Structure 1
């Protein structure tokens, strides 16, 4: 943590312990809302509630809430009175308010919507109809659009008077029925003759998404075309809202965090449990149990090759090396492929190239590691054939592991299972099993030379 934030955190905790709430309120009034939100990440729920209730105005509270994880924000609001909740949510952009309400208990959410003003509750209820992870679920409905027959001077005047809209990066142009027909940058608007109509200067080929477009696809389009906002339309091409770059950054961060948690065998929900060990263990256990059974199968395979192991006990020296290196290589390949799927860099058209690339990388790394461990085996046990067996097994196991690291995520993606969840434990277990089979199978073939 930066020194500035550490000082703020220490000061806030000290004032909370002393009950010096007037001083704490004065401190909060002097620092930026983003810095207040940063403090919340290091406080428990009780401390968060105290801090939140001391923020003087609803606008600042709304800003802080927008910067927090939505589940954390909802959990925080549940601790305060209904009127304050309503007042804060009404100060937030509708898309952020919807994300908070989605994470509240159903009864509380319905109660809040009832208390809110008609206009606000109607907008929020409309947004709640869209899936949480689609363009409709993350779009802002306070956008700026103008009719196509409006003249430039009128458009500039309307832009100057615009209030209560999301950041104006572009001017979206619509027809008489609200259909999206074009787009203008602010620069275009300010550099053309004032008497021209918008339909004569607008760009007609607009990059757009529909309300049911997955949020990841929205993020990819914004990143690919380097745009600051993207319009959202319904099935009839009616302009419904916009997704701005700040929302896209949140999506990319959420998706990346989600993938990392899944590959670690847990979920982001763990963050909400704080230091509750039993609840966190319950989240992590399922995939660990999978690995546990994989380890039992690996042990059983070693038992099947017990005759080979009894004759050449030196083989046991390199079991951890073979299984460990295979698991590492497979994990690297799986991580690259899962991330490639998530960012759109890998698809069905490039999968073949990715497979053979990872296979070649596995062979090269296997050859280098196999040579090193073969030499170690020769020096350690004085048997050149043992070094040959270990080296060959290493090359084969690492090549197979690299291939598995590509094939496993691809298989899970095609059958509809999130590869980020299943790939890591499957690849680890599969490579342990194949590594043991390859190692002891090779040793059995050369058994007469190893004696």
Structure 2
């Protein structure tokens, strides 16, 4: 998981950011164009100078600096750094951006950087590359590491297998305390980046049989066997466990991590709480982007221009045809609109207020679907709950806008028309907003993509119809 856990906290880095002296004032100023200095050091300085400069930048400034360089300059910076520092640098970036930069490098250089990343980040990064690019990098990695990366890449990002790491303390249940202490001493450097608060204990068949809090080793005799110290039958999850299952597990249990096993109970890795929280945030961001018409998921302005335009246009072009329906309603009642021009003032108010109410209903339905609190088949129950809210809010909003209409035009019948229209359209909006995500989910469509356009179009059409239809019926009172 890239861009998840910076190795150095931003506050610590920011306090030691490089500075330059202002000769006129004698004061120290922060470097506000770090990409220029980064590029200069990559071209003219040593790799030690470049790495020292980058290490003093906050993670935000590192990402900013790279985003301001063109592809050739990005290559120069990454190639000028040693693999470990380059890996740390790209680990602070969004996955899609890190993968794009990695694809610029030759497979040998890219593999050296990938080798320095944790196993879960390796899988995420390789999964965002083309098959040919990923395979070329895997060919340069040690065989066991490449096989592990291929296995992890096969899982979806929102499955336990896609979030797990293989770096962990793993011991056999027949080992003695003295054996564990000796192993820790001999491999301390290898374990330096691993969470060592817990070790996972397996039997001779590599099946998970216990979890060992490492503090337990401090107060026992060195001849004790791990099988006598471990916590037996620990909670574990299958590698195919979904993100929703993991969210529920960590909400229910105060664990920092949970072991992942296969169908035979063999230990595969561990999933950290932070990894689940990261994926939950990503899922929410993805749903939001989809609801705003970014149908390809994550978008950054460093991505190719035509790709960004195509992703947005695919949704916008559909929306053109959907909005023709709303325009047709206005065209049908154009005589009424010309006769009572004050109606034009309130049409966007009716549309926008109803849309806001509908979007609130969409947000609640999407949230409950993601948490498993509602099933796609429970449309009638959800509809009634939303209508109950709509009756109250629609009445309050209708009365409020009716008062504004009377004050604006002085005609009480105009207030009646717009007040009833807003009330009715609010009921329609919350009904659509609450139910449509469930209907789409039930039939296999992505509710995050389709709910917004459907809600907007239908509330516009209905709002215009209610206002202009009621105005037509009461035209003699409005003129």
Return closer, same or farther for 1:222/1:379 CA change in 2, 3 Å cut-off: same
Secondary structure of 1:326's match? helix
Alpha carbons of 1:17 and 1:179: their partners in 2 closer, same or farther (altered >3 Å)?
closer
Q: Deviations over 1:152-194 (max 9, x none)?
A: 5655555555554542342223233222233243345556676
- Report if the CA contact (8 A) 1:169-1:229 is conserved: no
* Cα-to-partner distance string for 1:182-229 (whole Å, 9 max, x where unaligned): 324334555667666544554445332211223453344334423211
TM-score by length of 1: 0.86
CA distance in 2, matches of 1:433, 1:151: 74
Provide the C-alpha distance between the structure 1 equivalents of 2:46 and 2:407, rounded to a whole number of angstroms: 71
User: Would you say 1:51 and 2:74 are equivalent positions?
Assistant: no
Which runs of 5 or more residues in structure 2 are unaligned? 1-9, 19-28
SS in structure 1 at match of 2:461: helix
Deviating more after overlay: 163-172 vs 377-386: 163-172
Q: 171-180 or 191-200: which moved more? A: 191-200
5+ residue gaps, structure 1: none
Moved more, 9-18 or 175-184: 9-18
Alpha carbons of 1:358 and 1:139: their partners in 2 closer, same or farther (altered >3 Å)?
same
The correspondence for 1:142, drawn from 134, 146, 167, is 167
How far the C-alpha of 1:123 sits from its partner, in A, is: 2.2
Match of 1:238 in 2: 266
Using the alignment, how far apart are the partners of 2:248 and 2:77 within structure 1?
A: 37
User: Aligned-pair RMSD on alpha carbons?
Assistant: 3.4
* CA contact 1:141–1:241 (8 Å) conserved in 2: yes
Q: Which has the higher helix share?
A: 1
My pick for the range that moved more, 171-180 or 8-17, is 8-17
Give the secondary-structure state (helix, strand or coil) at the position aligned to 2:211. Answer: strand
Q: Are 2:303 and 1:280 aligned?
A: no
Whole-angstrom CA distance in 1 between matches of 2:384 and 2:262: 42
In structure 2, relative to structure 1, the CA distance for the partners of 1:83 and 1:20 (3 Å cut) is: closer
Between the two proteins, the alignment pairs up a number of residues equal to 450
Q: CA deviation at 1:26?
A: 0.9
Query: Does 2:117 correspond to 1:92?
Result: yes
Change (3 A) 1:281 1:111: closer
Asked whether the 8 Å contact 1:34–1:67 carries over to 2, the reply is no
**Which secondary structure does the structure 2 equivalent of 1:359 belong to?**
helix
Higher alpha-carbon deviation: 373-382 or 355-364: 355-364
Change (3 A) 1:370 1:278: same
Contact 2:41 2:50 in 1 (8 A): no
Of 398, 423, 426, the match for 1:395: 423
CA distance 1:38–1:215, change in 2 (3 Å): farther
Structure 2 Cα separation of the partners of residues 361 and 140 of structure 1:
45
Alpha-carbon deviation of 1:100? 2.0
In structure 2, distance between residues paired with 1:68 and 1:35: 12
Mapped pair 1:72 → 2:97:
yes
The 2-side partners of 1:385 and 1:354 are apart by 34
- Match of residue 317, structure 1, among 339, 345, 366: 345
Conserved 8 A contact 2:201-2:209 = yes
Moved more, 254-263 or 349-358: 349-358
